Amino acid sequence: MLASPVLILGARSDIGRALAKGYAAQGCEVILAARGDISADATDLALRSQAKVRSVSFDVTDGKPDAFFDALGVVPGTIVMVAGLLGDQAESAAHDEAAQKVMDSNYNGPSRYLLAAARRMASVPDACIIGISSVAGERGRASNFVYGSAKAGFTAFLSGLRNAHAKTGLHVMTVKPGFVRTQMTAGMKLSPVMTAEPEQVADAIIKAQGRKADVIYTLGRWRLVMAIIRAIPEPIFKKLSL
Amino acid sequence: MPYSAPLAGWGRYPVRDCTVWQPTTAQALHETLGPLPVSIARGNGRSYGDASLNPEATIDMRRLDRLIAFDDATGAMECEAGVLLSDLVAAFVPRGWFPPVTPGTRMVTIGGMIASDVHGKNHHVAGSFCDHVDWFDLDLGDGRVLRCSRTENPDLFAATCGGMGLTGIVVRAAFRMLRIETAFMRQRTIRVGNLDQALSVFEQSHGSTYSVAWIDCMATGRHLGRSAILLGEHARVDELDERRRAAPLARPVRKPKTVPIDFPGFALSGFNVKMFNHLYYAMQRPGDEVVDIDPYFYPLDALFEWNRIYGRRGFVQYQSVLPLAESETGMRRLLEAISAAGAGSFLAVLKRMGPQSFGMLSFPMEGYTLALDFPATPGNLQLLERLDAITADHGGRVYLTKDARVSAQMFAAGYPRLQEFRNLRAQYGLDQRFSSLLSQRLGL
């Protein structure tokens, strides 16, 4: 059961767009939330799907989650937190401001928004909060540990939120997509076997919501790969360049 | 941020490393174009050759893919240029609307359809796609974005329709969709034993909305040009059986199959192709039937990446059109040259075209067009030179959208309005701002 309306936080991203199309195709009412004006995307989606769609302005780092939800005028049945920022590890290592932005966009902001959401959604039937976290959060690596550690925090947050609401109606799902062919990864040389299309990720999420899954890797093979990476002893791991 | 990637057209020949920008809004596109010295737009990469490649700057338009407005009373559609035809078909067939003109694949963008001024099986009655376009907004790359239509900037309108993206970048467009009652086609299959009969059936079939012939290009002698001609009409509700009448616009979705590997070269041996053509001809049962709309228009879309059938080296598609008066002798010579070389393709297509369109470089002209594909081998490339010579002899032209190798001279001979097109490019400074490997090859 997919509870409407579905609020997509970070609707301008490729995964956000694919999710919006997916939910609209299922007949859900959809609210697109992104920085700036995203009304053209809402018009597009409404024309394509004939679903009810509207757009709101949203900035995950603004520190005003309660004001956002109060202004929304409705309590969502489903929330997907897609917002996030890969950033640049070298820049984060060199500049405090860059590091803070990555941490705020991937941990502080998303977690505070979802706390505010959970306060409102606990009594909504079939309510569901979905957080897009990352396989990068499973072990810190030299190449992206500022992003990875923020995602690790977000993963732990989602698991705790799920635990806290195990006895209310609110379901919490963690998604670890692995590589996805998006704007964020455009031009990167990604293994085709390990890389999903945004539409695949969206399909997997919507299906998993239906069966109330707790944690999903949208490509199952990532579960195995990450199990191996987690199992490497730290003295060896620290010498690898991953 | 741009990135670098090896790009090719649908024929996978040639492949070149290109610097790619992917703007997500018209404004972002505008800001991207500003500082770029030269660029070319790329839609879904379904033109076959080098038309959508510019190593210095290729603009991937697929993220400008928003519908802007649709009028359910008139079928007037307004959308961004990167919208996929497949998305329109998926969203609007169930609501009783179909694109007014569609090429043989729905995996194309609206911008690409304008740049190629694509035609379909209904060209003889409906004209090409741009005949149904009311207007578009064209980003000239120099700060100007101009509304172009038959009355506003008509020179740019005529140059851009079929202009292969060389007159600026279409940002958004408005066109008319076609009302349909059902998601089914009434199809009539007529088998004919030779070219004369095929042409004569076409000449008697002007009343059919859709017509196309699959032609056995391996047949020789008195069988030369034997074909299965397929005539089609959108089925009306009262023409459906009871089961289909319950949901006349339901469009069964089949999951496309993917060609998993590059086929080895020998898979396309003369023997295999001959057998395939033979069997395919035999399979076309004459008579009338009602078929689904998707396989009718897009038989090859059911097979993802079917271009891999031609192997790693890629393939070239050859499509030329001959004027009506020259069609009979010219087509005979083309088919003789192809069958003599033993280099037939899996699917060769013959079609009667209607009158020339208003687009300066628009491909269609009143007459007959033949389309086939070949693996890109040295021998086949030589054969295509001979086909060029025959096409030129009979006053015909080649289709740039399918082309990867034609000479500048051959191209110029077929397009009488080329100078007008060049003048317009120079007048607006577009020759300095937009180019592709195709335009460089052809001296456009």
**Which of A:162-221 have CB within 8 Å of B?**
183, 186-188
A27 touches chain B (CB under 8 A): no
Interface test with A, best of B3, B79, B305 (most A CBs within 10 A): B3
User: Is B348 within a domain?
Assistant: yes
Strands B184-192 and B367-375: unpaired
What pLDDT is recorded for position B259? 62
Residue A232, domain extent: 6-237
Would the CB atoms of A183 and B24 count as touching at under 8 Å?
yes
Q: Which residues of A touch B91 (CB under 8 A)?
A: 47-49
User: Is B86 within a domain?
Assistant: no
Report CA-CA distances (Å) from B170 to B81, B83, B249: 6, 12, 32
Question: Which chain A residue's Cα is nearest to B5?
Answer: A187
What pLDDT is recorded for position A185? 82
Q: Complex ipTM, two decimals? A: 0.88
For residue B11, give the 3-state DSSP assignment.
coil
Output the domain CATH number for residue A175. 3.40.50.720
The predicted-structure confidence for A184-208, as pLDDT tens digits, reads as follows 787 788 888 899 999 999 999 999 9
Would the CB atoms of B67 and A49 count as touching at under 8 Å?
no
**Would you say the pTM of this structure is higher than 0.90?**
yes
Would the CB atoms of A187 and B24 count as touching at under 8 Å?
no
A106 vs B301: which has the higher pLDDT: A106
Of A49, A50, A186, the CB nearest to B22: A186
User: Is B197 within a domain?
Assistant: yes
User: Is B394 within a domain?
Assistant: yes
Helix, strand and coil content of chain B, in percent to the nearest 5, comes to: 35, 25, 40
> In the sheet that B315-323 helps form, which strands lie side by side, from edge to edge?
B287-292, B184-192, B227-234, B210-215, B348-353, B367-375, B315-323, B397-398
Q: How confident is the model at residue B145 (pLDDT cuts 50, 70, 90)?
A: very high
User: Is B28 within a domain?
Assistant: no
User: How far off is chain B from A40, nearest CA to CA, in Å?
Assistant: 7
User: Is A168 within a domain?
Assistant: yes
Question: Which chain B residue's Cα is nearest to A24?
Answer: B91
User: Is A20 within a domain?
Assistant: yes
What pLDDT is recorded for position B12? 86
B261 touches chain A (CB under 8 A): no
B96 half-sphere exposure, CB direction, 13 A CA radius: 11
User: Is A226 within a domain?
Assistant: yes
B304 touches chain A (CB under 8 A): no
User: Is A242 within a domain?
Assistant: no
What pLDDT is recorded for position B310? 66
Structurally, chain A folds into a number of domains equal to 1
User: Is B32 within a domain?
Assistant: no
Alpha-carbon distance of B100 to A48, in angstroms, equals: 18
Of A41, A48, A183, the CB nearest to B91: A48
User: Is B306 within a domain?
Assistant: yes
Residue B366, domain extent: 184-405
Q: How confident is the model at residue A162 (pLDDT cuts 50, 70, 90)?
A: very high
Alpha-carbon distance of B44 to B86, in angstroms, equals: 11
Output the domain CATH number for residue B273. 3.30.70.2520
Angle at B293 between CA B277 and CA B348, to 5 degrees: 25
What pLDDT is recorded for position B271? 62
Structurally, chain B folds into a number of domains equal to 1
